[in-house]
Structure 1
Amino acid sequence: MISPSNREVDIGSTLKDDEYIGMTRREVLDGYLRDRAIDYGAKPINALVTKIDVPEDADANGRYTVHYSPNDEGRKAPSRSLEVDVIIGADGANSRLAKAIDAGEYNSAITFQERIKISDEQMKFYEELAEMYVGDDVSPDFCGWVFPKYDHVGVGTGTVLDRPAIKEYQDAIRERAGSKIEGGKIIKVEAHPIPEHYRPRRVRNRAVLVGDAAGYVAKCSGEGIYFAAKSGRMAAQAVVKCMKGGSVLPTERDLISEYIKPYDALYGPTYTVLDILQKVFYSSNAAREAFVDMCQSKYVQQVTFDSYLYKKVQGNNPIDDIELLFGAFGSLLRGAAIATPDKAFSNPVESLKRL
């Protein structure tokens, strides 16, 4: 963790030998998951979904119609359609299924990342290391990062409050990383929306949302891959259970009971705690300095990594919790003393909101 004043704190000291935070390249992971699904019997259709027709009588077993344009048959390929009884939307933050079932909107951050090929010597520095930078130079409400991606690094940032200035924040994270990535060649540029909270509706009749489409992204870290995979599995298991071997179709009530409620019971507390932490500690440079200062605590590191690795809110030592509370006040005072003044947003409306 690197504070606004460039104070660095190593927060991996409590990890056991068999514990680690995995970094992934989505182009590799996604291909692997697709191939595995095909091996298990899924039928792949390489296409762009253009429209989803929701039946008026879905409660009476009406079918959903998915319209799509094939990607592998040339530009003049005719549009196709597919009728289905149940549909699971794993189609990202701009989900077509969410729009089709009127699932409601959510606030979203925009993230910007450059894949940068650096020298072998520079890459050695990141072999066992990921960096997270906080400060309103790199983001007014999120963080910047340098993550290893096997033979290159991903350098990026994100924001909800000041999206028009995302390129400025990206320039700042490259500047903060400095000589560690200097001279690197940009090999890929990526930008994605990241949900800030659940959609108002995640199930409607026999249509189900999972992953980013449902809004399953953790605050503070911005992690979504685990929750996307887990929610996809839980939704699929719920559908299979409710269909009773294919003899009946699931109802909305069935899917809420077997998918939504168990998912929220497992991960709702985690989302809530991370939301509070982001609102408290990503709100100003003083709070960010305090956050990094607190990361020196072995207890904070232990709770953080246990919560991150096992996706449950950890920390059940009352004495350590009380010490942490007083330590947080001390960190906030120290952070206020050394922090630089917060910058105004490039968006004047958001600057007024902060005031």
Structure 2
Amino acid sequence: MALQFQCLQVFSPLSPVATTRSPSSSRSPSLVIASSKFHTAPLLGRKLRAAVIGGGPAGSSAAEALAAGGVETYLFERSPSSAKPCGGALPLCMLSEFDIPAHLIDRHVTRMKIISPSNIAVDFGKTLKAHEFIPMLRREVLDSFLRARAQSIGANIIHGLVLNLEVPASSNAPYVVHYTTENSMRSLAVDVVIGADGANSRVAKSIDAGGYTCAIAFQERIKLPEEKMEYYENLAEMYVGNDVSPDFYAWVFPKCDHVAVGTGTVCSKQDIKQYQSGIRERAKSKISGGKVIKVEAHPIPEHPRARRVIGRVALVGDAAGYVTKCSGEGIYFAAKSGRMCGEAVVRASEGGERMIGERDLKREYLREWDAKYVGTFRFLDLLQRVFYGDNAGREALVEMCGNEYVQRMTFESYLYKKLAEGNRVEDAKLMWNTIGSLIKCGIVGR
């Protein structure tokens, strides 16, 4: 009830724009525009108000940063108990950077196998140090923890479905979030909106942020007999080949008491169940006798959107397209982009004391993000186009993964999210071996 009152009164210092309506009502509440100076005007008698749409790692991290920085924050989550079909692997640095407690981790993966189209298996992880591992967890567990932490810092959690975002006609008017909760239609007026509502983002559609190509991920959670689960105690597997995906990879990742078995594709989404049958067949001897306890599917963006900041609206996580090619990694980049965006709003608004504008968001958030990560996304896009295009390229990829120098450079870059320091002699050898693998597999021209 207290939260409902806040929603109704949230813009009262300016005008009574937030209302409660019946679900059958289709008319939008009228906007009473207050006069205020755009960009640098101080907010008198109140704090900057922000709505974060989506309660995954991106939205929760944004809400936490906003609330901690003094911004009045509302975090919308449609389905708190739902789980995204996700491998659930985190880079090691995320545990300390985002203060992820150890009890959330299901498995400490220290062994990884990558399996070629011809079923050649390479142990990928021989260079891991004694203290290093890949944390595996369930998304519903991580997401719930991050939301609860944002709430404990001061973010207001609203369990509701956002229907649309009403964009103001002038630069100094509020944005209005229309949503349903507890079988009633409601509205909330805010100064700033952060869209963290996934690949099919309604926020992105509301601001005409442009489309992008999406892949589809399909995953089954399979509870294995105890003796077979022991095989996957600290082992994750990646499979490549036309039978499991024409342009990506399939996986068997261990969770607390089951394995996640899935695949993804962008160029042949209509055949996703065929590819899921392919990974089940490839891993048949190791997962037979298991019971499917959950089936999940979800769109995954293939590249960043062309427009990620428009007006006082910013996109983060999957809504912005921050999923890497080649590896399909998105959890870390979702949480990182959410935190960077939230901190950018706090900086630009001087702790929630001043109004901000599009130029502030582009300067404090977008420019910083692009400078830090655009190169990584472009490089992994190139790797995917070279090695995931056909089975010949995939065989070359698996052959390269047997090289311990490749493994060390890969894991140092992945686990700590920074460019690993190379060795010129080893780099030259790697280049030569890569060309040799490409020649042998007949894909040098490509």
Relative to the length of structure 2, the TM-score reads 0.72
Higher normalized helix content (fraction of residues): 1
Structure 2 unmatched ranges of 5 or more: 1-113
Q: C-alpha distance in 2, partners of 1:316/1:251?
A: 42
Within-5 A mapping of 1:103-122: 103-122=209-228
Q: Which runs of 5+ in 1 are unaligned?
A: 338-354
Q: Measured at CA, do residues 27 and 220 of structure 1 come closer, stay the same or move farther in structure 2, by a change above 3 Å?
A: same
SS of the residue corresponding to residue 44 of structure 1 reads strand
Which residue number in structure 2 is paired with residue 2 of structure 1?
Answer: 115
- Partners of 2:156 and 2:291 lie apart in 1 by 38
C-alpha separation between the residues in 2 aligned to 1:258 and 1:317? 35
Matched, 1:232 2:343: no
Output the amino acid matched with 1:311.
Answer: K
Q: Note the C-alpha offset of 1:336.
A: 4.8
Identify the residue that residue 175 of structure 2 maps to in structure 1: 64
CA RMSD of superposed structures (Å): 1.4
Tell me which amino acid in the other structure corresponds to 1:46. Answer: H
The question of whether the paired residues in 2 share the 8 Å contact of 1:266 and 1:312 is answered with: no
- Seen in structure 2, the aligned counterparts of structure 1 residues 315 and 290 have a Cα distance that, compared at 3 Å, is farther
In structure 1, what is the Cα distance between the partners aligned to 2:218 and 2:420? Answer: 31
Residue 14 in structure 1 maps to residue 127 in structure 2? yes
Whether contact under 8 Å (1:267, 1:311) holds in the other structure is: no
- Kindly provide the CA deviation profile for residues 7-60 of structure 1, in whole angstroms up to 9, marking residues without a partner as x: 000111111122221212011111111111111111111101111101111x2x
Q: In the alignment, is residue 54 of structure 1 matched against residue 167 of structure 2?
A: yes
Matching residue of 2:201: 95
1:172 corresponds to which of 274, 278, 302 = 278
Paired position in structure 2 for 1:344: none
Question: Following TM superposition, by how much is the alpha carbon of 1:315 offset from its aligned partner in structure 2, in angstroms?
Answer: 4.7
C-alpha contact 1:267 1:312 (8 A) present in aligned 2: no
- Residues in 1 aligned to 2:420 and 2:368: alpha-carbon distance in whole angstroms: 19
Q: What's the CA shift for 1:140?
A: 0.6
Which residue type is aligned with residue 25 of structure 1?
R
The answer to whether the 8 A contact 1:315-1:321 is kept is no
Tell me how far 1:122 sits from its aligned partner: 0.9
Query: Residues 1-355 of structure 1 correspond to what in structure 2 (within 5 A)?
Result: 1-57=114-170, 59=171, 61-70=172-181, 73=182, 77-336=183-442
SS in 2 for 1:106: coil
Provide the secondary structure at the position in 2 that maps to 1:246.
coil
State whether residues 215 and 264 of structure 2, in contact with CA within 8 Å, keep that contact through their aligned partners in structure 1.
yes
Using the aligned pairs only, state the percent identity.
61
Aligned mates of 1:120, 1:252 — CA distance in 2:
55
- Report the AA paired with residue 139 of structure 2: R
Question: Secondary structure of the equivalent of 2:184?
Answer: coil
More moved, 140-149 vs 308-317: 308-317
Amino acid at match of 1:47: G
Segments ≥4 residues shifted beyond 4 Å: none
Q: Letter of the aligned partner of 1:148 in structure 2?
A: P
User: Which secondary structure state, in structure 2, belongs to the residue aligned with residue 266 of structure 1?
Assistant: helix
Shift of 1:314: 3.0
